[in-house]
Amino acid sequence: MSVDYFVELDKSTKSIETDKFTTDDEFTTHYHWLIVDGRKKEADALRDKWSKNKNVRNVPLEKPSDEVWQMIAVPSVDLTPLPASSWFLQFTFTLAKPYISKDDNPFYVIDNPIVRDKFFQLPMARSTGWKGNLYSALWQLGHDKQDDEQMQRLFGEVRGEEGGQAGRLFFYPTFFAKTSLEIINPHDRKRRVGKNLILFESVPTGAQGVFSLLYVPFDCIGKDEVEAQRQALADLQLVAEGLQAMFLDYGFSAKRTSGFGVAKETVTGGFFQIRIEAVQAPPSAVPTAAAPALPKYLKAPGELKDEYLNPNGTFRERNQAEIAKMTKAQKQEYEKAQKWWEREGKTLASQPPAESEKPAEAPKPVWLKREFDSFARLIKIVEALLDAQGGAQ
C-alpha cells in the first residue's frame, strides 16, 4: 500500500475500519501508520482488534503450492551417495502445548512476533534451535560434550586454531501453518495481581510440524564398516532418547520452562532409514514349462545348424554326389531341413537382425528402513537393531 493511500484515508476519516483488515501485514502497516501519525489511542484499539481476531480465527495460514510445501516442509534424502551407515529420521509431531519463539522484526503490531521464514512468512522452528534444544535435553539426561565422546561426534567439537571437528547431525527447519496468540500476565510479588498483559504470537496447540534429521558419519570413511554400523546405531539410540525427552519433557520452545513447546507422544509418518543394505527374502521359485525339444537340424529355435548353411547365411543345397554318400538317416534329416528352410527359414533370414538386448541394470540397493508411531516405539526398534548387531560396546 502506498503513502497516497494513507493520505487519502486520513483525509476521509480519523478512524480506521479494522474489520476490512484480514492479514497480519495489513494490521501491522496500519498500526505503525497510526503511531507515526500520533494517534496512540487508535493504534492501541487496532492492536486490541488484531489480538481478538488472532485468538478467534486460529485458522490455517496461506501456504505455498503443494509441490513447494513438500519440498521445504517435508524434505527427502537419497542415502546412496552418502557414506555407509548414514541415516535419515523424520516424523510429524502434534503440539500438546503452544510453541513460542521470538523474531527480531522491529515493525510488528506486537513486540513478540513468532519467528518466520523470510520468503513465505510461515512460522518456523530454526534448524539451529533444534540442535540447541536436543543438546540441552541430552545434557539434562546426563550427557555432556566435555567428557562424552559420543556427544562430541554427534554435535561436534569446538573449532578453533588448534583444530576441532563438525558434528555428524544435520538438522532441518520445521514449518507450521497456524498461528494464534498467548497472553502472559506477570503478577506483582507483593500485591499478587497482574501488572501488565504481554502478548506473544504462537503456534497453537494441535498444530503439526515435520521434524527431519540427517546423520552423516563422514569421519568413518575408509574405516571398519562394522564399527561404523555399531556407532551409527548407538548414536541413533542416544538421539532417540534425546528426542523423547525434548518433545515430551523439556520442550523446544521459548519459555519451555513454563510448559510451552511440548508435543504428544504419538507421531504420524515416523520412519528412519539407514544406509545398510536390508536383508531381502529370496524370490519364490516359479516353476517354468519345459522347453520343447528341437528338431535335429536346428541348433536353436529359428536357427539351422551350420552344416546346412552357406557362409552368407543361405541354405546350402547338396549335389547328387553328396546326397549319394549320405546314410538314410542323414538324407531324411537333410530333406527336413530343406523343407523347413522353404517354409520358415527364408522369411527369418530376410528379417533385419534383432537389436542386442541391453545388459540389465544392477538393482538399486534397498536400505534398511523401520517405521514407528511414537517416541517409545522408536527407542524400542533402535534397541532391537542394536542388540542384533552386537550392542553398544
Q: Cell digits for 123? A: 512460522
| 378 in a structural domain | yes
Q: Is 225 helix (H, G, I), strand (E, B) or coil?
A: helix
CB 203 within 8 A of CB 176: yes
- Look at residue 66 in the predicted model and tell me its pLDDT: 84
**47, 82: one domain:** no
How many residues are there in the chain? 393
Q: Which of 11, 34, 54 is the last residue of a domain?
A: 54
| 15 in a structural domain | yes
> What does 283-341 look like in DSSP terms, one character per residue?
PPP---PPPPPPPTTEEETTEE-GGGB-TTSSB----HHHHHHS-HHHHHHHHHHHHHI
| 264 in a structural domain | yes
Question: In what helix (H) or strand (E) does residue 100 lie, and over which residues does it extend?
Answer: strand 99-100
| 355 in a structural domain | no
| 98 in a structural domain | yes
pLDDT digits (tens, 9 = 90+) for 161-182: 566 788 999 999 999 988 887 7
Distance CA 176, CA 13 (A): 38
Which residues are within 8 A (CB) of 390 and not within 5 positions of it... i.e. 6 or more apart? 230
**48, 80: one domain:** no
- Look at residue 56 in the predicted model and tell me its pLDDT: 47
pLDDT digits (tens, 9 = 90+) for 37-71: 677 666 666 656 655 565 544 555 667 788 888 88
Buried b (16+ CB within 10 A) or exposed e, 225-243: eeebbbbbbbbbbbbbbbb
- Look at residue 32 in the predicted model and tell me its pLDDT: 59
**50, 70: one domain:** no
- Look at residue 2 in the predicted model and tell me its pLDDT: 45
**96, 190: one domain:** yes
- Look at residue 165 in the predicted model and tell me its pLDDT: 81
Which amino acid is residue 357, in one-letter code? Answer: E
**28, 142: one domain:** no
- Look at residue 319 in the predicted model and tell me its pLDDT: 84
| 292 in a structural domain | no
Q: Cell digits for 39? A: 494517534
**331, 183: one domain:** no
- Look at residue 252 in the predicted model and tell me its pLDDT: 92
**16, 151: one domain:** no
**8, 141: one domain:** no
Question: How many alpha carbons lie under 13 Å from residue 343 in its C-beta half-sphere?
Answer: 8
Q: Which residues does the chain have with pLDDT short of 50?
A: 1-15, 56-57, 109, 393
- Look at residue 243 in the predicted model and tell me its pLDDT: 97
Distance CA 77, CA 88 (A): 7
Total domains, the chain: 3
**69, 28: one domain:** no
**49, 73: one domain:** no
**267, 374: one domain:** yes
Distance CA 113, CA 203 (A): 11
Distance CA 49, CA 18 (A): 7
| Cα angle, residue 392 at apex, residues 388 and 393 outer, rounded to 5° | 120
Q: What letter does residue 142 receive in the DSSP assignment?
A: T
Distance CA 200, CA 180 (A): 9
| 286 in a structural domain | no
| 283 in a structural domain | no
**258, 122: one domain:** yes
Distance CA 332, CA 310 (A): 20
Structural domain boundaries enclosing 321: 298-341
